[in-house]
Amino acid sequence: MPSATPTPSLAELRDQVLSQRTALPQMYGGIDFDARPERFTVDPEVESQLGTALEPQRQRLLENTDQVAVIEAFTMLGDAVADAYAALLPEIGFQRLVEMLDEACDHGVEAVADAPPELRALIADMERRPEWLDMELVELGARLDRNLSAHVSPYAIRGAFVATFMNAYAALPMAMTGALGEDMAANRIKETATFFTCTVLPGALERHGPGFRAAAKVRLMHSMVRFNVLRRGKWDSSVYGVPIPQVDQMPAGLLTIFVLALNVVRSGRTEFTREEQARVELSRYRCFLLGLPEELLPGTPRGIIDALGTRQATLRKAYDDDTCGALLRATMKAYLEPDHGLRSRVHDRFERSFSKAFFVKRFLEGDDARAAEMGVALSRADRVQAVGVAVLVGGQVLAYRLAQRAPGLGDRVDRRLVHKLDVILARLGHADFASDGASYRPVGS
């Protein structure tokens, strides 16, 4: 069983939130941390982001006042160490910040000439090993996830990506970065796919692994977004809280194990099997490296359901077509292939259809009419092509799963999966994991 995560008092959490104003006044000086933002609601009469299927659990979740208070606190919390490093942007410059982080990840912070203390603090925070961490389980989880990453993710990543900005309160920072354009949307999808793909490679989350390095870059990118948004002085914290708060990273990082936890609980079990726990530990540690507080990373089925469920149950539902709809349509139109050859064009056609079907089924609960209103209507061709992809990848996943368990074949099959992932990463191309403030658009424009 995984060790319990630390449970600091609510007073300590609130002090941590308030300390942002004094630690980084250039970023957080204009935010009212004493006011509850509009996005956060505990009113049972207000519709939340929980979704129809889980709505019956909302009252139970809201009655857990301690859990609700934790989620509220982290709704107003950025990333203290990464934000401090990003705040050096005017002094050091964008390019040098990125270069120093790359050097520190590859060779150690000692190898960085004139490394600022903020960089040392960021690397030290990522090098810290939480008490519950079991790297043997993390490696097993990565090995198990390689099958899905090699066969399902290349077709589903676009559909999963758009789900992260289906709420106007959470989506605004993404819209402000310029991601409303198809080229920028394509870059962001590729970066997301690259990150999750490289983190399941062997040893990826070890100190000098590619997943560790990618997590550091993503963490800095999020902090650069916060810095560039907040320094403009037009961010309305009374409505939106802080840009990209810790709770808004939970859906992308925990969604797969949230679904796993739901299935475990619905089957009548209270604990994960060893293989299930391995997949959970992979997700927990990946999120930890991204800066998520340990309080948001429980390791039990019920704990995972309640943590992410409470985030959804307290996030006011809001869909703004100018923000959410524009992001959705730009994402669905983006061309993700490395070239325009026949193979790439065919893959694009089938991947796009499957992503649309995946998005409608998983995140719109199969509501075709709503999908059409959003601009992602499923045509008959889309449905046929999506079924074709489902049959293909379903067969691949099953065949590899059986081969992985066959005596004497496991290591050989795993090497084949690693090769497939390397090919996928090559097709995705180099990921910058960066955010240039010059391309941002004003709030509400």
d(CA 437, CA 135): 37
pLDDT tens digit sequence for 234-289: 789 999 999 999 999 999 899 999 999 999 999 999 999 999 999 999 999 999 99
Candidates 359, 368, 334; CA nearest to 348 is: 334
pLDDT tens digit sequence for 157-190: 888 888 778 899 998 887 777 655 777 888 888 9
Report CA-CA distances (Å) from 92 to 26, 97, 309, 434, 438.
Answer: 15, 7, 40, 15, 16
* Every domain of the chain and the residues it spans: 55-86+129-431
pLDDT tens digit sequence for 355-368: 999 989 888 888 99
Q: What is the pLDDT of residue 445?
A: 39
d(CA 346, CA 351): 9
The predicted model gives 394-423 an average pLDDT of 95
Q: Are 223 and 86 in contact (CB under 8 A)?
A: yes
Q: Are 229 and 176 in contact (CB under 8 A)?
A: yes
pLDDT tens digit sequence for 212-238: 999 999 999 999 999 999 987 778 999
Candidates 354, 317, 373; CA nearest to 153 is: 354
Q: What count of Cα atoms within 13 Å lies in the side-chain half-sphere of residue 19? A: 12
pLDDT tens digit sequence for 306-319: 999 999 999 999 99
d(CA 121, CA 135): 23
The predicted model gives 16-33 an average pLDDT of 93
Rounded to 10 deg, the angle between the 182-198 and 410-428 helix axes is 160
Q: What is the pLDDT of residue 178?
A: 62
Q: Where are the alpha helices (DSSP H) in 290-341?
A: 301-314, 326-333
